[in-house]
Structure 1
Amino acid sequence: MKKVLCLILLTSSAVMSQVKPTDDNNKSDIRYSLNPSGSHYVKFTFINQAWFRLNDNNPGTTVLTDPASQTFDIGLRRTRIQLFGQITDRIFFYTQFGLNNFNKTNGFPGYNTVGTPSNRKVGAFFHDALGEYEVQRKGNNFIRFGGGLTIVNGLSRFSQPSISTIMTLDVPIFAQATVDQTDQFARKLAIYSRGQVGKINYRISVADPFPIETNGAVPPSLNANSVFAQKKHKKQFDGLLIYNIFETEDNTTPGYMTGTYFGKRKIWNIEAGFIAQKNATWRKESVDTLYSNMNLWSVASYLDMPLNKDKGTAVSAYLGYFHMGYGKGYLRYNGSMNPATGTTLPITGVSGTQGNAYPMFGTGNVIYSQFGYKLKDGLLRSHGTLMPYASLQKSDYERLRDPMILYNVGVNWLMKGNNGKLTLNYENRPIYKNSTIANELQKDLRKGSWILQYQVSI
């Protein structure tokens, strides 16, 4: 018996000595191969973005009916899991499940001065669920068709962002033009085609917008300013063309576009996109109900490339011009993961002005830019490196006397790239009040917000 045991131990030791102790650490993802080459596979990913925020609230803000000039809150900006894979050479599927904007007020979407019962346990949902078929492939060139619930979109790269690779703390949400109005957190029920033809990457889609009545909030009443219509629903058409001057970008998952590559690729793109929908909004003029078409388009340039490959330094930049044509007088306030539930100083003609909200969406024109610089690898030795950044948004909306100027400055501590990242961000936003001119808002003062985000992803 002792001889047998010794033989087993010696055999095990010999086998183990042939296995490199770093084999498991070389795996960069959770993947199950469906064929020997690994070209057919199923992959699983996870991301969690936790926010720790100190916010100077807008005037009149209340939290669960209590006055609050300042709040500190903890929340989950995004928690997501993805399951996707290449089943055959031509068949691809993609699903994503998770929740967004989960903090202590998340369970009170309809909260008022009396108090509306709700449920904090119902926030998670399917973001994406789709299938694709590749009709042609030659080298890096390909053409695919797909359909389902998808973020494949028009307008810009930030209308379909890869949230795990965002360079700034958050994306410019105005570019997700119909978010949670006639879509599901920027996703739409759509049929689409996407592909790479030479240096041109394209995506086009036809979407069936959700009725505004199903977004979980009371629809805005028909008034003199355009709001999303509750009748005469039409299909939505989206398109985006990207010209790749240098390398092409990753096209594995449908829609999602990388925020920054940390200089791992040499990318410079010029893009143009649009979203169009007939009778998307309506308004009241005298006794008549008038419908407006939604016509949104943008042109932009994106740059992400190494500066010194030996040191690992890199630069990332974006500049875009957006024409946002929702209809006469359209204006919508929004605040990411708003820490507040109400206000004692409402602004005429708009809702949701409490907490950290500002006029994020509106009819008019927007210029958005961002810039980041990745410092050398190993700057903090085994603790990674840093990437400072800044962003600026200037929105000239019809109903604002003064442009809406929003800026963010921050720094990413890249402990392990995007897999382990700590971001400190300061956001400064304008506050508006009713103007002496009817149906117009004028700038009053400015407020700020400090946010610390810890991101873990795999």
Structure 2
Amino acid sequence: MKKVMFLFVLSLSYFGFSQGSPDYGGGLKVNINEDGSKYFRIISWAQVQAQYNDDVPSTDSKLNFNLRRARVLMYAQINKDFLILTHFGLNSLNANNLSPTGKGESSQLFFHDVWAQYSVGKNHAVGGGLHYWNGISRLNNQSTLNIMTLDNQRQSWATLGLSDQFARHIGFYAKGTIDKFQYRISINEAMTNNLQATAVPVNGGAATYTGRRLLGSRDAGKNFAGYFEYAFKDSESNFLPYKVGTYLGSKKVFNVGAGFFVHPSGSVVADASGNLSGQDVKILAADVFYDAPVGSNGGALTAYALYQNNDYGKDFTLGTTYETGSLLHGHLGYVIPSQKTTKFQPYLSYDARKIDALNDNANQLGIGTNLYFSGHNSKLTLEYQSLKYATNKAVNTVTLQAMIYL
């Protein structure tokens, strides 16, 4: 194998809400009044990595350490109608971007979420700020702490760094529940200085995601998103935006969903004379999620399927992550029945992407297993992954991850 990666992640967390762990209670909650209707919760977590890679230059170390995530999240129910959430931290701090006195760009904390919300009746709410009430799919609203696979399917975070900051937009949203139906919709500002902050379209060439910067905020400044789902079995919480990846059989969930993201004139093309014009960015998706107990000894089945159509403009590509084309993703996991607290969950994931600009495909296979000591609160994950992008040589990785939160 050309490239082998060993990844060890230790995550220490305090969570104020349950995200699928059958053994987890209320977390760190501080009541402000006697009946607990006014309260705040503080959540903190960190992920530390040790990574081994044998495909490096001879002068480089094969073993490196990385502070992958360091976060603090707090939300407060001021009264029954008002809620405020603040989430800040940093990502991927390592030896190459540390600074002598901690004042470098990579050492600085930044806000992931800052939003305030007002309840409109019992089951509906509106809010605004830097928020994670995204459209498109379940995976684009995924919590990173109860994913069944090692990490999220990256192309599902389809606007990260293009129109938003780390999968969060500044804007306003509405969300709610009508019996078994849930919805979330939003109108947001598009980012000006994104991953293509210095890019310009080539005459007659592919589109660039530069609409707001090159065409102005009047025509290309806003985007619109939504996600809608219907629960045929147990209903899920809609209190916070983060979707559970696997319930390990603690619920019986069968949801069908569909979503969208539209950014008018979000991308720009240049004709043969260099004249610029906008192209609408349109991402549409449909997905199915199933999670249910199997038998009476703690077995459980988790299954997910997603179809996503990405239109970033004419022949758009950026690295091996974003491209105009289509995506088909699925993953399947099974918790092996056992009377013991410790549970094994082998799983399989597969992606097939069609890339318009290259008239070619990208395929990714993941084979892994989770070892749960106490649900999602304490687990080990081992995964082999192989990515084949168009004519590039396949990249193979083996990852071991340990996570615990309290």
TM-score, structure 2 normalization: 0.85
Q: Secondary structure at the residue paired with 1:212? A: coil
Q: Secondary structure at the residue paired with 2:357? A: coil
In structure 2, the CA distance between the partners of 1:319 and 1:191, relative to structure 1 (3 Å rule), is same
Q: Is the 8 A contact 1:414 1:420 kept in 2?
A: yes
Aligned to 2:345: 387
2:258 is the counterpart of 1:272: yes
Which ranges of structure 2 fall in alignment gaps of 5 or more residues?
Answer: 1-22
Q: Is the 8 A contact 1:295 1:324 kept in 2?
A: yes
Percent sequence identity is: 27
In the TM superposition, residue 35 of structure 1 has moved relative to its aligned partner by 2.7
In the TM superposition, residue 148 of structure 1 has moved relative to its aligned partner by 0.4
Q: Distance in 2 between matches of 1:26 and 1:268?
A: 23
In the TM superposition, residue 49 of structure 1 has moved relative to its aligned partner by 3.0
Match of 1:122 among 72, 82, 107: 107
Q: Which amino acid aligns with 2:125?
A: R
In structure 2, the CA distance between the partners of 1:363 and 1:369, relative to structure 1 (3 Å rule), is same
Aligned to 1:37: 35
In structure 2, the CA distance between the partners of 1:290 and 1:27, relative to structure 1 (3 Å rule), is closer
Aligned to 1:289: 276
Q: Is the 8 A contact 2:93 2:106 kept in 1?
A: no
In structure 2, the CA distance between the partners of 1:55 and 1:405, relative to structure 1 (3 Å rule), is farther
Aligned to 1:447: 395
2:220 is the counterpart of 1:236: no
Q: Deviations over 1:368-400 (max 9, x none)?
A: 111111223554x6xx22222121111101123
Q: Distance in 1 between matches of 2:193 and 2:359?
A: 28
Q: Deviations over 1:11-57 (max 9, x none)?
A: xxxxxxxxxxxxxx996400011232323321112233333334465
In structure 2, the CA distance between the partners of 1:219 and 1:456, relative to structure 1 (3 Å rule), is farther
Aligned to 1:131: 116
In the TM superposition, residue 75 of structure 1 has moved relative to its aligned partner by 2.3
Q: Is the 8 A contact 2:334 2:346 kept in 1?
A: yes
Aligned to 1:362: 323
Aligned to 2:200: 221
TM-score, structure 1 normalization: 0.76
Q: Distance in 1 between matches of 2:64 and 2:185?
A: 40
Q: Is the 8 A contact 2:284 2:308 kept in 1?
A: yes
2:46 is the counterpart of 1:51: no
Q: Deviations over 1:171-209 (max 9, x none)?
A: 012111121222110001010100001111000000011
Which ranges of structure 1 fall in alignment gaps of 5 or more residues?
Answer: 1-24, 109-117, 334-358, 432-441
In structure 2, the CA distance between the partners of 1:323 and 1:269, relative to structure 1 (3 Å rule), is same
Matches within 5 A, 1:59-458: 71-107=62-98, 119=104, 121-137=106-122, 142-212=123-193, 219-223=198-202, 224-229=205-210, 230-232=213-215, 233-253=220-240, 255-287=241-273, 288-308=275-295, 310-333=296-319, 359-377=320-338, 379=340, 384-431=342-389, 442-458=390-406
In the TM superposition, residue 94 of structure 1 has moved relative to its aligned partner by 1.2
In the TM superposition, residue 159 of structure 1 has moved relative to its aligned partner by 0.8
Q: Which deviates more, 34-43 or 150-159?
A: 34-43
In the TM superposition, residue 106 of structure 1 has moved relative to its aligned partner by 4.3
Q: Deviations over 1:396-448 (max 9, x none)?
A: 011233310011111112122222222111111125xxxxxxxxxx4142121
Q: Which amino acid aligns with 1:445?
A: K
In structure 2, the CA distance between the partners of 1:228 and 1:67, relative to structure 1 (3 Å rule), is farther
In structure 2, the CA distance between the partners of 1:41 and 1:209, relative to structure 1 (3 Å rule), is same
The count of corresponding residues between Structure 1 and Structure 2 is 372
Q: Deviations over 1:347-374 (max 9, x none)?
A: xxxxxxxxxxxx1211011001111112
In the TM superposition, residue 105 of structure 1 has moved relative to its aligned partner by 3.8
In the TM superposition, residue 121 of structure 1 has moved relative to its aligned partner by 5.0
Q: Distance in 2 between matches of 1:256 and 1:454?
A: 21
Aligned to 1:352: none
In the TM superposition, residue 220 of structure 1 has moved relative to its aligned partner by 2.5
Aligned to 1:114: none
Q: Distance in 1 between matches of 2:53 and 2:24?
A: 41
Q: Distance in 2 between matches of 1:391 and 1:105?
A: 32
Aligned to 2:9: none
In structure 2, the CA distance between the partners of 1:241 and 1:129, relative to structure 1 (3 Å rule), is same
Q: Is the 8 A contact 1:46 1:457 kept in 2?
A: no
Q: Which amino acid aligns with 1:128?
A: D
CA RMSD of aligned residues (A): 2.4
Q: Is the 8 A contact 2:90 2:106 kept in 1?
A: no
Q: Is the 8 A contact 1:143 1:195 kept in 2?
A: yes
Q: Secondary structure at the residue paired with 1:231? A: helix
Q: Distance in 2 between matches of 1:361 and 1:26?
A: 37
Q: Distance in 2 between matches of 1:221 and 1:67?
A: 36
Q: Which deviates more, 41-50 or 122-131?
A: 41-50
